[in-house]
Amino acid sequence: MINMQFHGVIWYWRGPAPWFFVTVPELECQQLKAIVRSVTYGWGMIPATVTIGKTRWHTSLWPKDGSYIVPIKAHVQVAECLFEGDEVHIRLEVD
């Protein structure tokens, strides 16, 4: 199990289905890359439990451009009053 904490800025992706994300910093990405083969369920996706503020949810980290990104679900944005450009503290758990 990996437990990590980091800060990141929320950014918006306008793809076919728009999403908000936080990019995992490089040091933490290296830790994730070391275990990806044992935890991925395909396409490099890594199941994780994420906490921002008082909100905790299950999601998957997405690989992007050699890094990983954390999707910030709509219910989390509402519960924590989050917007694009906000800096957040993320607690991340990977089994």
- State residue 17's pLDDT score: 74
Q: Tell me what the mean pLDDT of segment 4-15 comes to.
A: 95
Q: Tell me what the mean pLDDT of segment 21-42 comes to.
A: 95
- State residue 73's pLDDT score: 93
Altogether, the residues listed in the chain come to a count of: 95
Category of 2 on φ-ψ map: left (φ > 0), alpha (ψ -120 to 50) or beta: beta
Reduced to 3 states (helix: H, G, I; strand: E, B; else coil), residue 90 is: strand
CB 46 within 8 A of CB 32: yes
Residue 94 CA to residue 53 CA, distance in Å, equals 18
Read off the pTM.
0.93
- State residue 53's pLDDT score: 98
Residue 9 pLDDT exceeds 80: yes
- Structure letter (DSSP) for residue 11: E
**Could you tell me the domains of the chain?**
2-94 (2.40.30.100)
